[in-house]
Amino acid sequence: MLKVYRNLKGYIPHICAIVVLIFIQVLTDLYLPTLMSDIVNTGIMKNDVSFIIHEGGLMLGVAGIGIACAILASLIGSRVSIGLGSILRSKIFRQIERFSLREFDQFGSSTLVTRTTNDIVQIQTVTVLIINMMLRAPLTAIGGIILAYRQDSSLTLIFAVALPALVIVVALIMTRAIPLFKKVQGKLDKINLVLRENLTGIRVIRAFNRINHEEKRFDTASNDLTSTYIRVNQIMAFLMPVLMLLMNAMQIAIIWFGSTRVDTGSLNIGALSAFIQYASLILINFIMMSMMFIFIPRAQAAAERVTEVLEVKPDIVDPESPQKSVTGNGYLEFRNVSFRYNGAERSALTGVSFLAKPGETTAIIGSTGSGKSTLANLIPRFYDVENGEILIDGVDIRKMTQENLRSRIGFVPQKAILFTGTIKDNMRYGRENATDEEIIHAAQVAQASDFVGEMKNGYDTLLSEGGLNLSGGQKQRLSIARALVRRPEIYVFDDSFSALDFKTDAKLRAALSNETENSTVLIVAQRVGTVMSADRIIVLDEGTVAGIGKHEELMKTCEVYREIVSSQLSEEELA
Ligand code: ADP
Ligand code: MG
């Protein structure tokens, strides 16, 4: 919690202002009962109307100042806590942007979303409370006790009974309620999970007729949350009546013992009425303080979740003295590279070595799960190698800045991702200053110009969220065009042709070979047809290199490759 509040540095003047305002407000709160006692003693008892009007006006004025201070303090307080929220949100966002994929895997995207939204809202809400109560409640309570003591010291003994009773009641209720409050958070997470799975899996759920099942699952989670909430509220419902009872009992006690003292003449009525008011002030502020104890643990949990994200040291960082890219053409080399995913038992890649030269096409083939995408993801440093090294033009990629490294790579991921915006906007993700001609040319090479031309607004057509209004193959072609716009030294195509029919696949690769004449091209594929004509084929088998060579060589020497080829040929012949 404290770590989170370190972000409030820029708000120190605001906080000072709040402290002053609250201080004034506490003083007015404490002053009012004294004025009241004067009115009772001098005005009412002696029937002095002008004194009542004069003193009453003063009371109104003092109360007005108090109210103004309270309103101003809570306005500034809201501004501070909202400011804190926005600082935290942008910090988390920036931090997540720097995460390597390893750190993403570690958290999972759904909790990163709740941490950026829900948890920060929790912190914000509690901060408002803390700002308003932290100072006001104890100051008023202590001031009240002192002033009450000055009115009548023996009546103060009543507090010695009432306050411990109050603490016990609140403690009893809280020890039951706080664990339930914590459970509520977990159950909310559960509902979020079910909901999210439903939204992303809607097609599967419909296709497999699982709607009823999903409804039940949601109802279970929802009922669970409801019943916990009801139990929390049943317990909390006790709080107010019990506290009111205590307060009234205390006032009766004060009047009871106070009136005997008035009879004997050792206490005047004004002092008694002031005393009663102090007593309620003290009690109310004790209640406020105990309320804070409910909310702080909830915010504490949220703050821990937020700092957990903020304190991750991203393991992929730029070197202190980065090596400038020596002039080269994108000569890519893997030297004995091994890699293992977080918590995985088996290495995803073991001792992979190969060369990919500019002007040549290097293909990687292997069955699903053989580590092809893993290998592709290592090149732009989405993950760092565990052993060995990856070199571009003889420089270890860990010695370059990430920006420099990635500017040299045109990466087409296995899952085509497009962003909300026009097709042109999406193409300019490849290179911001690309001209319209370059974009159109790239689309032609990627065999995307035909279907884009058929769209009503051509290249200015708006793509909805992630390109929902496109087919898988269309998205793949646009994402290939986006990499082409970049004109990088190294192209990495991770299974980027899988959603294309054989004819488009062949046409695209033919057009591509002209375009990428001087670049290093790495094509990951599962289809033999896609890789057959490559200058070099690397066969991956369970993370190890089973063979490297041209198609004809591998047919002779590599058993794994022969198996892949024969399985696919028979499939195609059957088709
Ligand atoms: P391919 O692209 O050849 O189908 P991948 O490189 O995607 O294979 O996966 C290789 C292996 O690594 C698989 O066994 C897979 O289960 C595992 N794997 C892939 N991604 C992750 C990940 N993010 N975390 C843990 N294991 C992973
Ligand atoms: Mg893959």
Centroid of ligand 2 to alpha carbon of 537 (angstroms): 16
Say if residue 376 is in the same domain as residue 275: no
Instruction: Please state, in angstroms and rounded to a whole number, the distance separating the CA atoms of residues 102 and 115.
Output: 18
Q: How many domains does the chain have?
A: 2
pLDDT in tens, 500-538: 888 888 899 899 988 888 899 999 998 888 898 899 999
CA angle, corner 294, sides to 291 and 299, nearest 5? 120
Instruction: Please state, in angstroms and rounded to a whole number, the distance separating the CA atoms of residues 232 and 184.
Output: 9
Residue nearest to atom 16 of ligand 1 (CA): 369
In a domain, 217, yes or no: yes
Beta-carbon contacts of 67 under 8 Å, excluding residues fewer than 6 positions away, are: none
Instruction: Please state, in angstroms and rounded to a whole number, the distance separating the CA atoms of residues 360 and 330.
Output: 11
Q: Which atom of ligand 1 is nearest to the CA of 105?
A: 23
Say if residue 135 is in the same domain as residue 240: yes
What value does the mean pLDDT of the chain take? 90
Look at the pTM and tell me if it is higher than 0.85. Answer: no
pLDDT score at 326: 63
Say if residue 227 is in the same domain as residue 347: no
When pLDDT is cut at 50, 70 and 90, the band that residue 135 belongs to is confident
pLDDT in tens, 333-374: 999 999 999 888 899 999 999 999 999 999 999 999 999 999
Query: Final residue of a domain: which of 310, 338, 363?
Result: 310
Instruction: Please state, in angstroms and rounded to a whole number, the distance separating the CA atoms of residues 386 and 376.
Output: 15
In a domain, 417, yes or no: no
Say if residue 235 is in the same domain as residue 379: no
In a domain, 40, yes or no: yes
Residue nearest to atom 24 of ligand 1 (CA): 341
Centroid of ligand 2 to alpha carbon of 426 (angstroms): 23
pLDDT higher than 60, residue 385 = yes
Say if residue 357 is in the same domain as residue 290: no
pLDDT in tens, 25-46: 999 999 999 999 989 888 888 8
**What lines the ligand 1 site, CB under 6 Å?**
105, 341, 344, 348, 366, 368-374
Domain range for residue 399?
325-408+490-499+528-575
pLDDT in tens, 180-229: 877 887 787 788 788 888 888 888 988 999 999 999 999 999 999 999 98
Centroid of ligand 1 to alpha carbon of 374 (angstroms): 6
In a domain, 453, yes or no: no
Question: Which ligand is in closest contact with the Cα of 367?
Answer: 1
Q: Which atom of ligand 1 is nearest to the CA of 376?
A: 6
Best CA proximity match to 448, nearest among 364, 370, 504, 380 = 504
Say if residue 302 is in the same domain as residue 354: no
Q: Which two tokens stand for residue 499?
A: 């959603």
pLDDT score at 291: 79
Centroid of ligand 2 to alpha carbon of 37 (angstroms): 82
CATH of the domain at 15: 1.20.1560.10
Q: Which two tokens stand for residue 120?
A: 């920060």
Say if residue 128 is in the same domain as residue 221: yes
Say if residue 226 is in the same domain as residue 375: no
User: Higher model confidence: residue 327 or residue 535?
Assistant: 535
Name residues with Cβ closer than 5 Å to ligand 2, which is an ion.
372-373, 414
In a domain, 227, yes or no: yes
Say if residue 153 is in the same domain as residue 298: yes
Count CA within 13 A, CB hemisphere, residue 90: 6
Centroid of ligand 1 to alpha carbon of 544 (angstroms): 13
Centroid of ligand 2 to alpha carbon of 304 (angstroms): 36
pLDDT score at 197: 85
Say if residue 304 is in the same domain as residue 331: no
Say if residue 130 is in the same domain as residue 228: yes
Q: Which atom of ligand 1 is nearest to the CA of 543?
A: 10
> Phi and psi (nearest 5°) for 546?
-95, -20
Query: Final residue of a domain: which of 310, 345, 368?
Result: 310
In a domain, 400, yes or no: yes
CATH of the domain at 533: 3.40.50.300
Sheet with 544-549, side-by-side order of all strands: 409-412, 490-494, 520-525, 361-366, 536-541, 544-549
pLDDT in tens, 469-480: 888 899 999 999
Of 17-31, 84-98, 156-170, the least confident: 156-170
Centroid of ligand 1 to alpha carbon of 369 (angstroms): 6
pLDDT score at 570: 66
Residue nearest to atom 2 of ligand 1 (CA): 373
Query: Final residue of a domain: which of 285, 310, 335?
Result: 310
In a domain, 206, yes or no: yes
CB atoms within 10 A of CB 427: 29
Say if residue 223 is in the same domain as residue 362: no
When pLDDT is cut at 50, 70 and 90, the band that residue 468 belongs to is confident
Residue nearest to atom 20 of ligand 1 (CA): 374
Residue nearest to atom 27 of ligand 1 (CA): 341
When pLDDT is cut at 50, 70 and 90, the band that residue 574 belongs to is very low
Residue nearest to atom 25 of ligand 1 (CA): 341
Which neighbouring-strand residues pair with 355?
333
Residue in 102, 373, 497 to alter for ligand 1 test, most ligand atoms within 8 A of Cβ: 373
In a domain, 101, yes or no: yes
Q: Which helix (H) or strand (E) holds 531?
A: helix 528-531
Instruction: Please state, in angstroms and rounded to a whole number, the distance separating the CA atoms of residues 66 and 168.
Output: 31
Helix axes 136-151, 118-133, angle to 10 degrees: 20
pLDDT in tens, 353-363: 999 999 999 99
